[in-house]
Amino acid sequence: MINGKNTVVFALGGNAILQTNDRGTLKEQYRNLKETVQHIMPFLMREDVNVVVTHGNGPQVGNALLRSEISKDTIPPHTLDVCGAETQGSIGYMITQTIQEEFYRINIPRVVVSVVTRTLVNTDDPAFQNPTKYIGPFYSEVEAKKLAEERGWIVKEDSGRGFRRVVPSPMPQEIIEYKAIYDLINHGHLVVSTGGGGIPVVKRDQRLEGIEAVIDKDLASAVLATELKARQFIILTGVSRVSINFGKPDEIKLTSLTLEEAQKHLSEGQFPPGSMGPKIASAIKYLEATDGDVLITSSEALFPALKGEDGTWISRG
């Protein structure tokens, strides 16, 4: 416990900021955030818990890289780690503004703080030998090969739509700022952090060095929840419950899972790598290190889920 209260880490899904058919305008992002915050505000305003909110930044980083590429002849392009920092700042600001405005409206004096966060990864992580995470715009084969030669990029064809840059997605080991986040929580503040999984850094010669990689936001959130000894880890996504046999006639929506069952279903391939897989892997990572509980649900179903009427609860069993 921190400050005599249990801590809850909320991992917002990508749909909390951008919906499928959105263009990515600031107006759309604020609209989506306001809707999400209104769904979860009754929880955020509770005085008996500490709250940390984490978020994704995938589309926004993609746009930042695209802007950088379009303007490269006028303005020097930014590296991926710097683009990650930029989007952490901008999205963190928007989330902070949205929550703080709601607090002001209902006369809650709680301060909302956004922390640009770095995440430590191992230099010998196998992901560095096999980059798989597609980022940035599409290129023709000729353009892609030229960029690979000029910038040292690794490029691969992406689903027949063209060539894109690929970067490693190493496992998060530590949230560098977690002690500062702890202190902010201890002073009663609501903290927004670990955006997009944090900016990946490695230790070299007793210093931290930013690298061009992408960290899964839910796995990084699980690390933070573990470091803060959070009592609950809530992962908000686009569906209200986790399913096995998803999209098939025998689909089963799960109300609860034990840690062992989650491990079994994940190993059997029930949860695809690009969607529910990382969320289940994050839940497993957190539960293997704590005695807490994980809830996976949508923002709309949060309160029925907290009463056991919706959502999927995962525990050690």
Point out the catalytic residue in the list 14, 92, 197, 311: 14
Distance CA 177, CA 193 (A): 9
Q: Assess contact for 262 and 38: CB atoms under 8 A.
A: no
| 217 included as an active-site residue | yes
Q: How far is CA 309 from CA 251, 294, 299, 303, in A?
A: 19, 15, 14, 8
Q: Residue 92 in contact with residue 168, Cβ under 8 Å?
A: no
Surface-to-core class of residue 298, CB atoms within 10 Å of its CB (0-12 exposed, 13-18 middle, 19+ buried)? buried
Residue of 15, 32, 50, 57 marked catalytic: 15
Using CA atoms, how far apart are residues 298 and 16, in angstroms rounded to an integer? 9
* Strand 242-244 relative to strand 154-157, pairing: unpaired
Catalytic residue among 13, 62, 84, 279: 279
Active-site residue 50, yes or no? no
Name the active-site residue from 136, 217, 292, 311: 217
Residue 68 to residues 26, 73, 82, 127, 249: CA-CA distances in angstroms? 18, 9, 11, 25, 45
CB 114 within 8 A of CB 92: yes
Tell me the one-letter amino acid at 264. K
Coil, strand, or helix at residue 50? Answer: strand
Nearest CA among 13, 77, 18, 62 for reference residue 40: 13
Catalytic choice (5, 6, 63, 133): 133
- Tell me whether residue 14 is one of the annotated catalytic residues: yes
Give the active site residues: 14-15, 133, 217, 279
